[in-house]
Amino acid sequence: MVVAAEEKELKRLETQVENGGGGAWDYLCLVRKLKARCSHNVLKFGLPILKDPNSRSKLGSDEWTLYEQVAIAAMDCQQLEVAKDCLKSLCKKFPESTRVARLECMLLEAKGSWAEAENAYARLLEDNPLDQAIHKRKAAIAKAQGNISSAIECLNKYLEIFMADHDAWRELAEIYVSLQMYKQAAFCYEELILSQPTVPLYHLAYAEVLYTLGGLENLQMAKKYYASTIDLTGGKNTRALFGICLCSVAIGQLTKGRNKDEKEASELPSLAATALMKEYKERAPDKLPLLTSTVKSMKLFS
């Protein structure tokens, strides 16, 4: 999970390294810790360390972690030669390792030789049929080939065995959203909220799926989940604030003309709009008139 302070630190280290201020290793460690995908930077900062025998030997056993990190970054940047060199050194050091074998399969993926990669993964699975990472890679291969339905099938099979893997649930949810299968996506997000109830971003994503589904009941649920996102982020999530406004407008339109028993809930949207105004005034004053006119057209203030 990436929290605000760590995100700031990552940006600071990046500019520091860019301007030649050192700290490349710290940057790479933080990238690994946050699981950020900044492949071009990792390649740019990590490769010089690997090429220099002096600084490489200073790392001790972390050297091999860096090899792995740079290899993956190089595949991501399509620098297949670099990746091959890294893998060669890793192979020399750990000839029997499954982890290195998996990297080699990933290199095949990066080349686009899907059939070979799949065969290689199948061979690895024979030795260790419950290797989670390899099962995940199989789903990723299917997705990379554009074969979304088989990726879904793969993920569902995987989740039957490893139900607690929230990364996989998240991937499945994102795939469903991309296919506009919102009901299924909502189910995945429910699982995610159950397994990690304090992560506001899952609440937000669930609320968004519900809002997209529409219907009075879903909209009311969506509003509740937007509200819980605000609760969990200390009111700093702009998207959730906008969500509250949009939900209450949509609910208002659906219940127009019917009995007006929703009076007590009318305080929330105007509070959200006030919070939005305040945040815009602080951080983007030039966009404030735009927001004011939008809020006015929603008629949130009575």
Partner 1 sequence: MGMVGFLVGVFGGLLLSHAAYATVQYRGMLMIVEEEFSRPPMNIVMELVLGLALCIWTALTVPGKFLSILPHSDENRLVSLPANLDFMIFNHRGKVFPLKQT
Binding stretches for partner 1 (CB under 8 A)? 1-5, 7, 34-37, 39-40, 43-44, 72, 75-79, 109-110, 133, 136-137, 139-141, 143-144, 167-168, 170-171, 174, 198-201, 231-234, 236-237
Nearest to 153 by CA among 130, 172, 166, 137: 172
Nearest distance in Å: CB 50, partner 1: 14
2/290 with CB nearer partner 1: 2
Nearest distance in Å: CB 81, partner 1: 9
90/219 with CB nearer partner 1: 90
Nearest distance in Å: CB 16, partner 1: 19
8/123 with CB nearer partner 1: 8
170/223 with CB nearer partner 1: 170
Nearest distance in Å: CB 289, partner 1: 27
Amino acid at position 192, single letter: L
Token couple for 300 = 């949130």
CB atoms within 10 A of CB 100: 20
12/40 with CB nearer partner 1: 40
Nearest to 212 by CA among 238, 252, 176, 172: 176
Question: Contact 52/38 with Cβ under 8 angstroms?
Answer: no
Beta-carbon contacts of residue 26 (< 8 Å; ≥ 6 apart):
13
Burial class (CB in 10 A: 0-12, 13-18, 19+), 123: exposed
Nearest distance in Å: CB 133, partner 1: 6
